[in-house]
C-alpha cells in the first residue's frame, strides 16, 4: 500500500448494525472496522453473514436505507454524501451492462448520470485509456454486451466503475460467475489495475484462495447476525504471482482463514485450494 509509511484511514465503521424490518432479519450484529487508504480488503463469511449487506451500506444502495445503528465514515463522509458525490465505483457478479448500449456507450453512462463537466473529448480519452488498461481489444468496443464473453463484460463493468476516478471501488463477487480460467485471468487484471491506480478496494468473495491471493487483509464474518470474527493480514509480497498459490506459506494462510470461518460457523468455500 504505502511502503515505509502508515497509510491514513479511509473507512471507519463503528458498531454498525442492520435489521431488515420487512423480513425481520438481523443481518449485521455490530461491525467495527477500519480500512486504510489504498488497501485491498476482502470480506468472506458463511451465507447470510451480511457481506453484501455491508457493501450495500458502504454504497448507500441497500434496502430500507442505511445502518440501523452505528456510524460509517468514508473519507470523512457518510455513505449518502459519498454516493451523491460519486465517490465510489461498484462492480457486481452480473456485469449489469445495459443490453441496448454498445461497450463505449455503457462506459459513457456515469458521465451522463453525473452530468460531468469534463469535455466530451476528455471523456472519450479516459474511456479509451481504461479499456486499453483492462485489455479489451478495440474491435470489441462497438459490440453489444450479448456479443461479449463473461470476462469481457466484466472488463467493461470495471471500466464503467472507474471512469469517474473514484477513490473507492466496491466489488460484490465480481468473478463469481466466471469459469476458473477466466476468473484467474480477471484476478490478475484487477491486481494490475489496483497497482496502477491505488484505489481502496473492498471485495466480497466466497473463495478463500481468491481472498488470500488478492488481499492485504481478509475480514472473516460470523454467521448471521454478521460480526467480525477475525482480521487476517496477508504477508505475501507484491506484486502477487500465481506461483504463490502453490506454496506451503499460502496453504497456511488459507488454513488460517478456513479455521476462522469454522469458528464463525462454516463457509461457502471453493474446493480448489492445494495443501
pLDDT of 62 reads 74
In sequence order, the 6+-apart residues with CB closer than 8 A to the CB of 216 are: 1, 36, 39, 40, 41, 233, 234
- SS3 for 78-100 is CHHHHHHCCCEEEECCCCCCCCC
pLDDT at 266 over 70: no
Looking at the DSSP bridge assignments, the partners of residue 16 are 31
Quick one: pLDDT at residue 3?
56
118, 111 in Cβ contact below 8 A? yes
Q: What is the 8-class DSSP label of residue 7? A: P
Residue 185 cell numbers, joined = 485471468
Annotate 79-113 with b (16+ C-beta within 10 A) or e (fewer): beebbeebbbbbbbbebebeeeebbbbbbbebbee
Residue 271 has pLDDT above 60, yes or no: no
pLDDT in tens, 209-263: 999 999 999 999 999 999 999 999 999 999 999 999 999 999 999 999 999 998 7
Say what the pLDDT of residue 268 is: 37
Secondary structure class of 71 (helix, strand, coil): strand
Note the pLDDT of residue 174. Answer: 94
Per-domain residue ranges for the chain?
1-87+169-275, 97-165
pLDDT digits (tens, 9 = 90+) for 68-80: 999 999 999 999 9
pLDDT at 249: 95
23-27, 116-120, 178-182, 265-269, range with the lowest pLDDT: 265-269
Neighbouring residues of 129: CB distance < 8 A, sequence distance ≥ 6: none
pLDDT above 70 (res 274): no
Mean pLDDT of the chain: 91
**pLDDT single digits (tens) 140-188:** 999 999 999 999 999 999 999 999 999 999 999 999 989 999 999 999 9
Q: Are the C-beta atoms of 257 and 80 separated by less than 8 Å?
A: no
Nine-digit cell at 110? 456515469
Alpha carbon distance, N-terminus to C-terminus of the chain = 28
Q: In what order do the strands lie in the sheet with 88-91?
A: 88-91, 168-172, 200-204, 40-44, 217-221, 228-233
Query: What own/partner pairs with CB < 8 Å and gap ≥ 24 does 22-25 have?
Result: 22/63, 22/64, 25/224
Q: Are strands 25-36 and 9-20 parallel, antiparallel or unpaired?
A: antiparallel
Its CATH class, for the domain covering 1-87+169-275, is alpha beta
Percent of the chain with pLDDT over 90: 87
Amino acid at each position: 500500500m504505502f511502503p515505509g509509511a502508515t497509510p491514513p484511514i479511509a473507512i471507519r465503521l463503528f458498531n454498525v448494525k442492520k435489521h431488515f424490518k420487512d423480513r425481520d432479519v438481523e443481518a449485521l450484529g455490530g461491525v467495527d472496522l477500519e480500512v486504510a487508504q489504498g488497501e485491498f480488503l476482502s470480506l468472506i463469511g458463511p451465507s447470510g453473514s451480511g457481506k453484501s449487506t455491508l457493501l450495500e451500506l458502504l454504497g448507500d444502495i441497500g434496502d430500507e436505507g442505511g445502518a440501523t445503528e452505528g456510524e460509517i465514515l468514508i473519507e470523512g463522509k457518510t455513505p449518502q454524501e459519498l454516493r451523491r458525490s460519486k465517490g465510489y465505483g461498484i462492480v457486481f457478479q452480473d456485469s449489469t451492462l445495459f443490453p441496448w448500449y454498445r461497450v463505449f456507450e455503457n462506459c459513457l453512462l456515469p458521465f451522463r448520470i453525473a452530468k460531468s463537466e469534463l469535455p466530451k473529448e476528455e471523456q472519450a480519452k479516459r474511456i479509451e485509456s481504461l479499456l486499453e488498461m483492462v485489455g479489451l481489444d478495440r474491435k470489441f468496443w462497438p459490440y453489444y454486451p450479448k456479443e461479449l464473453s463473461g470476462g469481457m463484460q466484466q472488463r467493461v463493468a470495471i471500466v464503467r466503475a472507474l471512469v469517474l476516478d473514484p477513490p473507492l471501488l466496491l466489488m460484490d463477487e465480481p468473478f463469481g460467475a466466471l469459469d476458473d480460467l477466466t476468473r484467474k485471468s480477471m484476478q490478475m487484471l484487477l491486481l494490475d489495475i489496483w497497482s496502477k491506480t491505488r484505489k481502496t478496494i473492498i471485495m466480497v468473495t466466497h473463495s478463500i484462495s481468491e481472498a488470500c491471493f488478492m488481499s492485504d487483509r481478509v475480514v472473516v464474518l460470523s454467521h448471521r447476525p454478521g460480526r467480525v470474527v477475525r482480521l487476517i493480514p496477508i504477508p505475501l509480497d507484491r506484486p502477487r504471482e500465481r506461483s504463490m498459490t502453490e506454496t506451503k506459506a499460502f496453504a497456511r494462510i488459507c488454513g488460517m482463514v478456513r479455521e476462522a470461518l469454522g469458528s464463525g460457523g462454516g463457509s461457502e468455500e471453493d474446493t480448489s485450494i492445494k495443501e
